[in-house]
Amino acid sequence: MVATETHAYPPSALIDLSSDTATRPTRAMRHAMAQAPVGDDQRGEDLTVNTLQDEAARLLGKEAALFLPSATMANQIAIKVHTQPGDEILCHEKAHIRLYEGGGPALLSGCLLRPLPGIRGIFTPRDIRDNVHPDDPHFPRTRLVCVENTHNAAGGCVWHPDEQQTVAKVTRELDLALHLDGSRLLNAAIALDIPASTLAAPFDTVTLCLSKGLGAPVGALLAGDARTIHSARRWKHVFGGAMRQAGIVAAGGLYALRHHLPRLREDHQNAVRLAEGLAAIPGVYLDPAPETNLVFFDIAGTGLSGPAAMERLLANGVRASGMGGTRLRFVTHLDVSAADIERAVAATGQALRG
């Protein structure tokens, strides 16, 4: 499939591998959005939003789901419903909620974040036991554990069900709440070839992002039991996320859930091919090997700085994102074909040999 056949846009010379958020709605998705029945979602009267919430809840095996403007808001509302000000949250040191959400847990919920180590973004029951505080007025109250699957900043790494289960077990024993930042959970489900509901099962709440690999223009969901989602709905309003005829954008997400799931496999195959091509470029070091649609590589061996390498890549028609120092990230997605990957490999070789 050629990207230009499915899009209402002229082909671009730029291959945008900076993020899977770069996807634009396809013609068919736009059509679905234009046709969507809508109503006032603040009053629960938007049919398309309600349908999306129901289908997402079913997909994730939860009682209820709430449509939200972004996965950042979904995570922040999850933190809000699980905690009180002064509480502490355990998460990986490179968790999205810690690095990329503007200090939201401190600002919006008054919580401390206690970072846990772990290669590939994965921590263990031992890490939780070693960092949870005893019930003692000297210490902040440990209240919530957050897992990220796939783990973004670690390299799109997949938590396996047994890794999640052991963490969930100790979390229950310690009477802590458990949230999953599953912005890319469907990438994990596709990579493992298991239902998303199996991966979501151990968690009290789950965030799912619609505007990453799924290719919708806007939106995310927070799923959980009916009582928790009822409370989340209040915070959606308070945080200013309650929209009116939101079915227009929800329809993009609904279309994505119905049509774009199986094709995530192509993104993963493209990521493997991209990694092979990059590994053959002198001075480029792949770390880790891609498990899903994220490809992390270090260009220290080329002698270039990260920003200089990105500039050269852009000049050669490829956009990357910087992950600090000489570490760069490419992300495969709906708008990048297998042919684009071959072009990107060639252009990257040109740019970094330069």
Ligand X SMILES: *Cc1c(COP(=O)(O)O)cnc(C)c1O
16 forms part of the interface with ligand X (CB under 6 A): no
Report whether 152 contacts 92 (CB < 8 A).
Answer: no
211 forms part of the interface with ligand X (CB under 6 A): yes
Spatial CB neighbours of 168, under 8 Å, sequence gap ≥ 6: 178, 202, 203
71 forms part of the interface with ligand X (CB under 6 A): yes
Nearer to ligand X, 150 or 326 (CB): 150
CA distance 58 to 46: 18
CA distance 277 to 270: 11
Question: Segment near ligand X (CB under 6 A), from 22-30, 55-63, 64-72, 130-138?
Answer: 64-72
The residue within the footprint of ligand X, chosen from 41, 46, 87, 148 (CB under 6 A), is 148
Backbone angles phi, psi at 195, to 5 degrees: -65, 145
Any alpha helices (H) in 246-337, and if so which ranges?
Answer: 247-259, 264-279, 306-315
79 forms part of the interface with ligand X (CB under 6 A): no
Angstrom distances, CA of residue 182 to CA of 46, 189, 207, 307: 25, 10, 5, 30
Sketch the per residue contact string, 96 through 115, with ligand X: x for CB under 6 A, - otherwise: x-------------------
The residue within the footprint of ligand X, chosen from 23, 152, 326, 337 (CB under 6 A), is 152
Nearer to ligand X, 267 or 312 (CB): 267
291 forms part of the interface with ligand X (CB under 6 A): no
Nearer to ligand X, 23 or 72 (CB): 72
Residue 316 tokens, joined:
């050669």
The residue within the footprint of ligand X, chosen from 46, 87, 181, 266 (CB under 6 A), is 181
Sketch the per residue contact string, 215 through 254, with ligand X: x for CB under 6 A, - otherwise: -----x----------------------------------
Q: How many CA atoms lie within 13 A of 191 on its CB side?
A: 25
CA distance 225 to 208: 15
Q: How far is the CB of 100 from ligand X (least distance, A)?
A: 7
Any alpha helices (H) in the chain, and if so which ranges?
Answer: 3-6, 27-35, 47-60, 71-82, 96-99, 104-109, 125-131, 152-155, 161-173, 185-192, 196-200, 226-238, 247-259, 264-279, 306-315, 338-353
The residue within the footprint of ligand X, chosen from 18, 183, 293, 332 (CB under 6 A), is 183
Q: How far is the CB of 74 from ligand X (least distance, A)?
A: 8
Q: What is the DSSP letter of 210?
A: S
The residue within the footprint of ligand X, chosen from 72, 83, 164, 205 (CB under 6 A), is 72
Question: Segment near ligand X (CB under 6 A), from 68-76, 158-166, 240-248, 315-323?
Answer: 68-76
Candidates 149, 184, 173; CA nearest to 163 is 149
For ligand X, how many residues bind (rule: CB under 6 A)?
12
Binding residues vs ligand X (CB under 6 A): 70-72, 75, 96, 148, 152, 181, 183, 209, 211, 220
